[in-house]
């Protein structure tokens, strides 16, 4: 055989190999769908900024937080500060927004507590810690990456008067 006779055999073998590879790998290539460009922005916790005092006062749909309870209760001005928040196993000092009520009746303080408990159940907040004793009580909830504290304290010398403290961490 001469040199020219091998060329068609090599070309045919090469063609058979290419077709075989195409048949073997075609299902895998056919299943790959290239990603289509998306014009919808993805919302992440860092894609919106928020002020914990605004959230405590006005509420927030993004944060699943209700507006400030205001029925028959007077609140002092909200301040950004560090506050000791009860948590298991130890309390933590956290920066956030602190709002305290002026002295209020025991039933009004209880109504405020029930308001936030109802909201916590509807929004499925996670209880981080809770406790009560003579003249005081508190609940700390974890909401996303923040903590919300509701606390009732007795006014010294008057069992029927309370103060309410709200704290939302940054």
Residue 67 CA to its chain's centroid (Å) = 17
Percent of the residues in the chain that have a pLDDT greater than 90, as a whole number: 59
pLDDT, mean of residues 24-39: 47
Cβ count within 10 A of residue 81: 11
Q: Is the peptide bond before 89 cis (omega within 30 degrees of 0)?
A: yes
The closest alpha carbon to 86, from 40, 17, 140, 22, belongs to: 140
pLDDT tens digit sequence for 99-153: 999 999 999 999 999 999 999 999 999 999 999 988 889 999 999 899 999 999 9
Mean pLDDT score across all residues of the chain: 82
73 confidence band (pLDDT: 50, 70, 90): very high
The reported pLDDT for the residue numbered 161 is 95
pLDDT in tens, 32-54: 444 444 444 433 444 446 799 99
Statement: residue 10 has pLDDT above 80 = no
163, 102 Cβ separation under 8 angstroms: yes
Query: Is the pTM higher than 0.75?
Result: no
34 or 71: which leads in pLDDT:
71
Quickly list H helices, the chain: 3-30, 52-58, 106-123
Which residues lie across from 140 on neighbouring strands? 129, 149
């Amino acid at each position: 055989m001469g040199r020219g006779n091998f060329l068609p055999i090599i070309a045919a073998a090469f063609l058979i190999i290419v077709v075989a590879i195409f048949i073997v790998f075609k299902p895998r290539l056919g299943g790959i769908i290239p990603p289509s460009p998306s014009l919808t922005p993805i919302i992440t916790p860092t894609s919106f900024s928020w002020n914990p005092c605004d959230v405590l006062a006005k509420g927030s749909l993004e944060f699943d937080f209700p507006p400030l309870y205001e029925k028959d209760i007077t609140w002092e001005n909200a301040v950004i500060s560090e506050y000791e928040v009860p948590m298991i196993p130890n309390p933590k000092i956290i920066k956030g927004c602190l709002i305290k009520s002026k002295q209020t009746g025991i039933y009004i303080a209880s109504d405020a507590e029930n308001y936030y408990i109802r909201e916590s159940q509807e929004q499925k907040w996670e209880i981080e810690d809770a406790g009560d004793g003579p003249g005081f009580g508190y609940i700390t909830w974890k909401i996303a990456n923040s903590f919300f504290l509701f606390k009732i304290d007795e006014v010294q010398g008057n069992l029927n008067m309370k103060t309410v403290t709200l704290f939302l961490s940054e």
